[in-house]
Structure 1
Amino acid sequence: MVPSCATSEGGDARCRLLAARFEAVRARTAQLAAPISAEDAMVQSMDDASPTKWHLAHTTWFFERFVLADASDYRAFDPAWDYLFNSYYQGVGPMHARPHRGLLSRPTLAQVMDYRDAVDTRMRARLQRGDLEARLLDIVELGLHHEQQHQELLLTDIQHAFWSNPLQPAYRDDLSHARGEATALRWIARPETIAEVGHAAWPGRDGFAYDNESPRHRVLVPAHALASRPVTNAEFAAFIADGGYRTAGLWLSAGWDVVRSRGWNRPLYWDEACVRAFSLGGWAALDPDAPVCHLSYYEADAFARWAGARLPTEFEWEQAAASLPVDGNFVDSGRLRPGAPATTSAGLQQMFGDVWEWTSSAYTAYPGYRPWPGTLGEYNGKFMDAQWVLRGGSCATSADHARASYRNFFPSDARWQFAGLRLAKDSA
């Protein structure tokens, strides 16, 4: 007999915890989608983004396809949706092309929400009965973290869609515009050390982690210094005023080509005067003390070079963050925008939340990396190509989804995410 919640040691407790987490995560997705109309929900403003309706359907399809459909007698909600809402799992079968997700006027948003309700009901019954074997419970846990990734994408994608609309409406017009005050940037020196980085292979006793975070291993971290906080809007504005976007020597060759071909001269969502920025709350005065965000890797790297510094490696970042509490301005705060530090701590500030921080580390496999078995092995490993690692989470990340070993990744020219930077430099 295959162990299940009802038969394995500690299974009942895990089922209860996953059932409660399932309800919370699914409810948050619905809450984040609530301000978005049916018309808004099918807009796809660029190839890299997806419509809200697609996010709602895909995260539901994940549970149906990988958990519920594991039963031999399971009947699909709609077999055609296996094609519409598969993202990139070649092991499942063909899928609708990503750049054309905005063409899916059918199914309607109401039908997608009915789909969510139906799958939630079936998932709820399985979790309450306690008949899911440990392997499927692992997939439920993975699916919940997968959905939290899509919650963040839902927000970043709808912000880009609304900014692309000539009316430039706000996602929510009740978001706080409270300002803080950035502390003076300080350099925090760290000696050379051999550090343990990464996460033990999951599933295990050490909590959830994606396969790209394992195995845990040792690395040599040279002596260096990290900036006490992320770079602010005011500091980035100084880079612009000093001709940063017009100085070829500051840019990687491919980055300079992108700057010229796309006409970049300021961060995404800044107005031409660099005094206002578009956010999920609409247009507002630029907060000079908030972390700069919506930067590409190219822009972060150019700024670091202009500042006489560099981007940290992901191991420098993780070694510094590992001893800190995972605390910060996450989506849980409801602010949905980066802000100045809430405290005047003398140590490292805002390592978690506010903005993802670009690192100088290419997104590659750790020594001894093994993708998950089966189709879910396509989740991360096949994207280890021409991308860079970001760390720390953002104001659109869930607090219980973040951790020091988390490796986010995007290509060099990606700007629509809540991505900023923290400076580093070699110790003299």
Structure 2
Amino acid sequence: MSPSDLTVATSIASRFRAVREQTAALCTGLSAEDMMVQSMPDASPTKWHLAHTTWFFERFVLSRNKTFKAIHPEWHELFNSYYQSVGPMHARPMRGVLSRPSLDDVKAWRSHVDEALAAWLERGADAETLALVELGMNHEQQHQELLLTDIQHALSCNELLPAYDAHIASVPGEPVPLRFVACEGGTVEVGYEGEGFAFDNESPRHGYLLRPYMLANRLVSNSEYLMFIQDGGYHDPLLWLSDGWATVQGQGWSRPFYWQEDLASAFTLGGVRELDPSAPVTHLSYFEADAFARWAGARLPTEQEWEHAAASVPVQGNLLDGWPRLPHAARGAGLLQMFGDAWEWTASPYVSYPGFKTLPGALGEYNGKFMSGQWVLRGGSCATPVSHIRCSYRNFFPPHARWQFSGTRLARDA
């Protein structure tokens, strides 16, 4: 291995340790009992996140090292998520019953895998292995955000409404008037372009024809969404898609997820907090975002419109950088909050780009097989690691999902 290749491997080893340490740090203050709770089928226990990300590195990276020996191969079925091609898996809705292995056992397993992989990287590993480690680190960063959103949901189900961190920072701000920024149309290029890491669903880069459009300068705020509620938004079927209206009626929705009945406070990672009127409304489903846009005389942007506008904005904002913060009000001028605070629902279904190809082998199950019945979100949130997000990043969830830090930005035709 050349000195330059060894330098690359050493750099990846350093970042690998940092990512793994960040996951552990996010568990600070959580009890073993906290980390066992699975509050709904779509969420996972914190302990399972710790174990699954370890399984990913062991199954897809360390398995390539002939000198490595798995110390708990019987756990592979427990912590496989959805990779059908590598073997059976424990039922997703039943992850909360896995009291064994214990949390201490899972932590010891993480340490074993961390030491083995870091040592291999520091000795030097081939380019394909390094690429798999990059994928594994980005996969773990996705689970860092899920860890936070899942524990928030779990704690919200406790009648005591305990805080993840009672001292978590919120940053009150002055309102920035909502206005629309003109965006040129034409044939634009979208999709990932560069030498760094990107997921397969961000490629290939391709041309897309856009008509001129207008994009709101910031995310929709709590106070604006409150006006929608007070105007009877949840009771007007003309504002809702058919599936959305059926969901509102069936689930009895009358306000955003985590908003309290007083419509003046919400359950957050910091416990129940007074709503900041100027902060972005979060924990909306696609159905709610779409209904609000229709009520406001606007629409949701397509993902191509969003990416074209975001390409001119620095990738910075209220993102996860060490310890989580709550979403806060926009500041400044121009297009604001394009990155961080809240994921932004778009009007685009999650489908493949022209010429899309999945990764070879089992990792081809990572993104491509979910291109059905999901909608694209863009921009990251306050729980998205700062080094994880980019302009071409495509998040996706089913349209009824509400437990993520998901908000909305309005668009209009020019």
Q: Is the pair's TM-score, using the shorter chain for normalization, greater than 0.5? A: yes
Confirm or deny that 1:325 pairs with 2:314: yes
Q: Distance in 2 between matches of 1:52 and 1:157?
A: 8
Provide Cα deviations, 1:372-421, integer angstroms capped at 9, x if missing partner. 00100100000000000000000000111000000000000000000000
* Counterparts of residues 209-358 of structure 1 (less than 5 Å): 209-332=198-321, 334-341=323-330, 343-345=331-333, 347-358=334-345
Q: How far 1:154 moved relative to its partner?
A: 0.1
Q: Distance in 2 between matches of 1:396 and 1:255?
A: 26
Instruction: Find 1:159's aligned residue among 142, 152, 173.
Output: 152
Counterpart code for 1:375: A
Q: Distance in 2 between matches of 1:219 and 1:35?
A: 47
Counterpart code for 1:344: G
Q: How far 1:277 moved relative to its partner?
A: 0.5
Instruction: Find 2:179's aligned residue among 175, 181, 186.
Output: 186
Instruction: Find 1:142's aligned residue among 135, 139, 144.
Output: 135
Q: How far 1:13 moved relative to its partner?
A: 2.3
Q: How far 1:62 moved relative to its partner?
A: 0.7
Counterpart code for 2:219: P
Instruction: Find 1:382's aligned residue among 345, 366, 369.
Output: 369
Structure 1: unaligned runs, 5 residues or longer: 1-5
Q: Distance in 2 between matches of 1:337 and 1:208?
A: 28
Q: Distance in 1 between matches of 2:146 and 2:325?
A: 13
Paired residue total: 414
Q: What residue in structure 2 maps to residue 19 of structure 1?
A: 13
TM-score, with length taken from structure 1: 0.95
Q: CA contact under 8 A between 2:257 and 2:284: conserved in structure 1?
A: yes
Q: How far 1:75 moved relative to its partner?
A: 1.8
Which stretch of the first structure deviates more once superposed, 326-335 or 278-287?
Answer: 326-335
Q: Distance in 2 between matches of 1:412 and 1:299?
A: 9
Q: Secondary structure at the match of 1:65?
A: helix
Provide Cα deviations, 1:74-98, integer angstroms capped at 9, x if missing partner. 3212011110011111111000010
Counterpart code for 1:296: S
Stretches of 4+ aligned residues off by more than 2 angstroms: 71-74, 333-336
Q: Distance in 2 between matches of 1:66 and 1:318?
A: 31
Aligned alpha-carbon RMSD (Å):
1.1
Counterpart code for 1:425: R
Counterpart code for 2:77: Y
Counterpart code for 1:269: Y
Q: How far 1:333 moved relative to its partner?
A: 6.4
Q: Secondary structure at the match of 1:390?
A: strand
Q: How far 1:335 moved relative to its partner?
A: 4.4
Q: What residue in structure 2 maps to residue 112 of structure 1?
A: 106
Q: CA contact under 8 A between 2:6 and 2:122: conserved in structure 1?
A: no
Instruction: Find 2:396's aligned residue among 409, 412, 424.
Output: 409
Q: CA contact under 8 A between 2:219 and 2:410: conserved in structure 1?
A: yes
Instruction: Find 2:45's aligned residue among 39, 45, 51.
Output: 51
Q: Distance in 1 between matches of 2:324 and 2:80?
A: 31
Q: What residue in structure 2 maps to residue 3 of structure 1?
A: none
